[in-house]
Structure 1
Amino acid sequence: MSVHPFIEENQQLIADFSTTQDVPFYAYDIDGLAQHINQLVNDDIKLWFAVKANPLSKIIKTLAGQGMKFDVASSGELDQVLAQGVKSEHILNTGPAKSLAQITHFFEQGVSVFVAESVNQLALINQQAKEFGVVPSILLRVQLRFEQDSDNPLGGNELTPFGLGSDEWKEVDLSHYQHINVVGLHIFQWGNMLEADALIDLWQTMIAPLKSLANALGFELSVLDLGGGLGVPYDGDDRKLDWETLKEALINIKIQAGVDELWLELGRFAVAEYGYYVNRVVDVKNNYQQELLVMQGGINHLLRPAITSQPFPARLLRHSDSPSQLFHVHGPLCTSLDKLGTLALPSDIHADDTLIFSQCGAYGFTESMPFFLCHELPAEVIVSQGTVEVIRPALPAASYLF
């Protein structure tokens, strides 16, 4: 896989900073991120950032500064986004589990756009809309079945907690919900797709059944939210989606669907490429004729490889002319599940060397399992204009043990 210029330009800076840290850390290319988001934001497609991908304060501020809106799925995400100065009108509430308490909190904070994933959610939102004397805009989340099927983090064609099928929604009489305004439909079933043609075909296939559903329910389809699913390459895969190609297709879909607004909720496609995880080698050993590394941090900091069997790309954070060989890379936890992958690395790697994992800007630390075995929490830092700023310091186990 080609190396992002950020690593080449900042290798010594990161290496020097790593000598001051006793714990692995995340580093974010904040300048590259701002430039990337500036190239994505446009007047034709409304873009929301799925905060689940990375809720770090500086990430949120950077995206807000470039004109992104925010898709939040919990009260914690809402409070974090608001704390960064994001206005409530720039927030969309998604997520399959919306309790009365959570919905009430969103209303109290002035949020007025919700994705309803069930009849119960529709009723609760309607109830609180009446209580607060406001008329929120609602999108109904829909599950469709497609010919394409695969093992996918969002379920694909499988039964999931996300939304309802068209037949189930058609049983709902929207006239019973007088305090809300159903303006659109939301559909999001496929994650981390790397084939533009396949993604566009899926979007095209969605138009007819969604328009039919809106007609059956008797409301004007003015907003169509296609979720996200735009992938980034991992594990040596150099495929990369071209945003201009996708944007052109989305504009055509917007016209075909006859909607006023077309929305996307971007997570990893927005931030993955601009985050790195810096991790120290603790031990190197040969066992059963195979080379094995034990790292200071593992799935307690970086869980994704264990749940996808797909490692993050990694390289040695120093120059080496030694030939590469395969290493089984494990973390510090007392479980064989704690494996970061089988990676090609220089054969002269040794204890106290440092690896830098890329594509870690999305689904990194906040997706991990940090408390198992009571290891330290990693720091999170930003790199901007040749300087390193600690946003969240590393914390010992004593900070969370009681």
Structure 2
Amino acid sequence: MTFLSTPVKSAINKLSTQLETPFFVYDLDALNTHLARLVAQTDVKLWYAVKANPLSTVIQCLDKAGFNFDVASKGELEQVLAQGINSERVLNTGPAKSPAQIKHFIERGVRTFVAESLNQVRWLNEQAVDQQCQLQVLLRVQLRWPEGEKNPLGGDSLTPFGLGCDEWLALNTHQYPALNFDGLHIFQWGNMLSSDKLAELWSQMITPLQQLASKLGVNLNVLDLGGGLGIPYTQNDDTLSWDALITALANIKRHAGVNELWMELGRYAVGECGHYANPVVERKLNYGQQQVILSGGINHLLRPAVTNQDFPAQLLRNSTAENQAMSLYGPLCTALDCLGEHQLPNDLNEHDWLVFSQCGAYGFTESMPYFLCHELAAEYVIHNGELNCVRQAADASDYLR
């Protein structure tokens, strides 16, 4: 497995001779090839989780491929609509749907929502009545396994996403005439790399969800399994089989007896198309540890500090030198600004660039770009073999007031 294709490496080589600060490159040609394979099936309705990467050109690729769009904020909604996408293809998810946000979404034409609480159900109905429309609503369910058993759906932690089955039983669906309760939504894990494990988890969910729908008098027309499909971040990681997943999902759909099965793909849809090029500032030996200080860090790639899982990194230039362990650090004045330990050629020096791959999802927009007032990273795309700038690097003077 190689994370850096020839077209991407060529583009980054070219840009590294022109630029002095970090930048992202998204290979839209590779993305389009990947998306075409994902939509070549009829078992699952696919939504793109915009949180993964809201870049306009990326959204346009998903649009052309036929994806619908899962948005969780007013900003994401407006970004999607700005690409000419019809609001009928938008699903509103997220735990913080205030009455004001719901009102805005309905005014903008959105009619499909995931309700995460009894309050959200009430607010959705109130706003729908005020605007004289009907809404399609899925209830988000958070399952927990019996005490003492390891919850296979994301550990034992309680999260703010949705409600448990017992809490949803307080809902009287007949009190909300403007809402069509059309199914259930469940999603409690992330970056899964085993097709068999995913199939096992999905199978375990069918019975409790069917029971809940029956008790609530909800027609289980739609089952939304969220996302959670993973991509490899090391050469040794497993890789999901899309064909095996579709076979498993077709079985889930049949056993659950639903008319529509939905999935909201983020990382799995766009993660592998993105790369982050980062110039080396300095290399030093400290207490026997090889340390590399880079121009960019968690101000552009926060994920390693949040998940303790690094993006794969490699030296941009070719080298025949032996690899050795090096710890990579960004420019911020915090020990959190670490991009992990990597095996890199031992002739690495301050004239080099490193390239981090698998950054198409949860990259720049998940970062903390304003801390210490460093430059914002530029973003480029490769489309139809051509390299184009989407956004130039910006100095702090461009955003400080």
TM-score by length of 2: 0.97
Task: Please state whether the residue corresponding to 2:249 is helix, strand or coil.
Answer: helix
Matches within 5 A, 1:85-124: 85-124=84-123
Task: Please state whether the residue corresponding to 1:202 is helix, strand or coil.
Answer: helix
- Cα deviation for residue 149 of structure 1 reads 3.8
Which amino acid in 2 is paired with 1:233? P
Match of residue 228 from structure 2: 229
Match of residue 201 from structure 1: 200
**Alignment partners' CA distance in 1, 2:48 and 2:37:** 14
Match of residue 34 from structure 1: 32
Which amino acid in 1 is paired with 2:130? E
Decide whether the 8 Å contact of 1:192 with 1:232 is kept in 2. yes
Match of residue 339 from structure 1: 338
Task: Summarize the Cα distance change of 1:194–1:148 in structure 2 as closer, same or farther, 3 Å threshold.
Answer: farther
Which amino acid in 2 is paired with 1:134? C
Match of residue 43 from structure 2: 44
Which amino acid in 2 is paired with 1:261? E
Match of residue 300 from structure 1: 299
Which amino acid in 2 is paired with 1:314? A
Task: Please state whether the residue corresponding to 1:182 is helix, strand or coil.
Answer: strand
Match of residue 363 from structure 1: 362
**Alignment partners' CA distance in 1, 2:393 and 2:261:** 40
Task: Please state whether the residue corresponding to 1:143 is helix, strand or coil.
Answer: coil
- Cα deviation for residue 8 of structure 1 reads 2.7
- Cα deviation for residue 148 of structure 1 reads 4.1
1:273-297 per-position Cα deviation (integer Å, ceiling 9, x unaligned): 1100000000011111111100000
Decide whether the 8 Å contact of 1:193 with 1:231 is kept in 2. yes
- Cα deviation for residue 386 of structure 1 reads 3.1
- Cα deviation for residue 385 of structure 1 reads 3.4
Which amino acid in 2 is paired with 1:84? Q
Decide whether the 8 Å contact of 2:298 with 2:337 is kept in 1. yes
**Alignment partners' CA distance in 2, 1:324 and 1:59:** 35
> What's the RMSD between the two structures over aligned residues?
1.2
State yes or no: 1:311 paired with 2:315.
Answer: no
Which amino acid in 2 is paired with 1:328? S
1:69-106 per-position Cα deviation (integer Å, ceiling 9, x unaligned): 10000000000000011111110000000011110110
Which amino acid in 2 is paired with 1:208? T
**Alignment partners' CA distance in 2, 1:86 and 1:286:** 52
- Cα deviation for residue 233 of structure 1 reads 1.2
Match of residue 394 from structure 1: 393
What is the aligned-residue identity percentage?
55
How many residues align structurally? Answer: 397
Match of residue 263 from structure 2: 264
Match of residue 15 from structure 2: 17
1:253-305 per-position Cα deviation (integer Å, ceiling 9, x unaligned): 10111111000000100011110000000001111111110000000000011
**Alignment partners' CA distance in 2, 1:149 and 1:360:** 29
**Alignment partners' CA distance in 1, 2:393 and 2:141:** 41
Task: Please state whether the residue corresponding to 1:164 is helix, strand or coil.
Answer: coil
Which amino acid in 2 is paired with 1:288? Y
**Alignment partners' CA distance in 2, 1:78 and 1:110:** 11
**Alignment partners' CA distance in 1, 2:346 and 2:136:** 58
Task: Summarize the Cα distance change of 1:66–1:317 in structure 2 as closer, same or farther, 3 Å threshold.
Answer: same
Decide whether the 8 Å contact of 1:235 with 1:310 is kept in 2. no
Matches within 5 A, 1:348-387: 348-387=347-386
**Alignment partners' CA distance in 1, 2:384 and 2:182:** 43
- Cα deviation for residue 171 of structure 1 reads 1.3
Decide whether the 8 Å contact of 2:8 with 2:27 is kept in 1. no
**Alignment partners' CA distance in 2, 1:317 and 1:182:** 52
State yes or no: 1:251 paired with 2:245.
Answer: no
- Cα deviation for residue 22 of structure 1 reads 2.3
Decide whether the 8 Å contact of 1:54 with 1:361 is kept in 2. yes
Decide whether the 8 Å contact of 1:144 with 1:157 is kept in 2. no
- Cα deviation for residue 9 of structure 1 reads 3.5
Which amino acid in 1 is paired with 2:9? Q
Match of residue 68 from structure 1: 67
**Alignment partners' CA distance in 1, 2:384 and 2:20:** 24
- Cα deviation for residue 308 of structure 1 reads 1.2
Task: Please state whether the residue corresponding to 2:232 is helix, strand or coil.
Answer: coil
Matches within 5 A, 1:129-144: 129-144=128-143
- Cα deviation for residue 197 of structure 1 reads 1.3
**Alignment partners' CA distance in 2, 1:13 and 1:375:** 24
Decide whether the 8 Å contact of 1:379 with 1:395 is kept in 2. yes
